[in-house]
Amino acid sequence: MARKPVEERTKPGPRLPMWSAIRSKYKEIGSYKPDITGSIKSYDADVAKAADLADSKKQLTPQVFDLWSKDNEAMGKQIGEDLTEVDALHDKFILDFQKMKGEMEAKPGRTVDLLDNFDDRAESFIKARKALWDAVVKLDAAHLASQRKIIKTVRDSLAKIDKEQEARLVECDKLEASIRKTVSEYQKKAAGVGKNDLVDALDNFMAGF
């Protein structure tokens, strides 16, 4: 038999108020054994908890996107700053090259010195750019690790919720079966003394399960 989803369990509302109304109207039920009031209370509590867990699952979606957004914003800002530095470094290198070209044209006799000097600058530029790129790659790796951590946290949370919700619904099935069996015995007793209106009231009560 397929397990009833939590939405189907919660739709009729708590069973205890209706049961209390029946007990109040039909005093003879007080002498029927076993008393199922405690089981009905437990059933209502399990249904309510299963519903709360279902709501918790729904709330996880906006929570995870909020975490992702904040993480992306923080990492994106830092990576953007590093990339801006790379662009600035590259622009400075181009300006240095243009400046050297102008000096070589203006002072042909210093060509070798100027080339040696530019070679040193080029080497420094490459090292500096590499350091910045390494920082960007490191940030990207950290970003990926952070995203994976968020995903794992959500998966673990969902698994925990699903496990607890399943346990509650299993208990609801057990309680319903027990209540249904006892109510059936109540109905036999009521029918035996001609209390057909009580039999009908109990039918209506069980229709909510």
The residue with greater pLDDT, 105 or 37, is 37
Report if residue 151 sits inside a domain.
yes
- Exposure string of 70-97, with b = 16+ CB inside 10 Å and e = fewer, is ebeeebeeebeebeebbeebeeebeeee
pLDDT at 35 over 60: yes
| Preceding amide of 34 cis, omega within 30 | yes
Residues contacting 145, CB < 8 A, separation 6+: none
Give the mean model confidence (pLDDT) for residues 24-50.
95
pLDDT at 178 over 80: yes
Structural domains in the chain (count):
1
In three-state secondary structure terms, 184 is: helix
Residues contacting 125, CB < 8 A, separation 6+: 89, 92, 93
Q: Give residue for tokens 């530095």.
A: 85
The residue with greater pLDDT, 56 or 108, is 56
pLDDT at 189 over 90: yes
Give the mean model confidence (pLDDT) for residues 167-172.
95
22 neighbors 202 (Cβ within 8 angstroms): yes
Report if residue 1 sits inside a domain.
no
Report if residue 16 sits inside a domain.
yes
Report if residue 90 sits inside a domain.
yes
Q: How far is CA 5 from CA 60, 105, 155, 170, 209, in A?
A: 19, 84, 21, 11, 12
pLDDT at 109 over 70: no
Domain of residue 193, residue span: 6-206
For residue 127, the domain's CATH number is 1.10.287
pLDDT at 181 over 90: yes
Identify the pLDDT of residue 47: 96
Classify the C-alpha dihedral 66-67-70-72 as positive or negative.
Answer: negative
Report if residue 150 sits inside a domain.
yes
User: Sorting pLDDT into bands at 50, 70 and 90, what band is 190?
Assistant: very high
Segment among 12-26, 55-69, 167-181 with least mean pLDDT:
55-69
What sections of 26-110 are H helices per DSSP? 37-106
Phi, psi of 146 (to 5 degrees): -65, -45
Percent of the chain predicted with pLDDT > 70: 92
Report if residue 32 sits inside a domain.
yes
Report if residue 97 sits inside a domain.
yes
Type of residue found at 171: E
What is the crossing angle of helices 37-106 and 111-192, to 10°? 170
Taking the C-alpha atoms of 31, 34, 37 and 39 in order, what is their torsion angle to the nearest 10 degrees?
-170
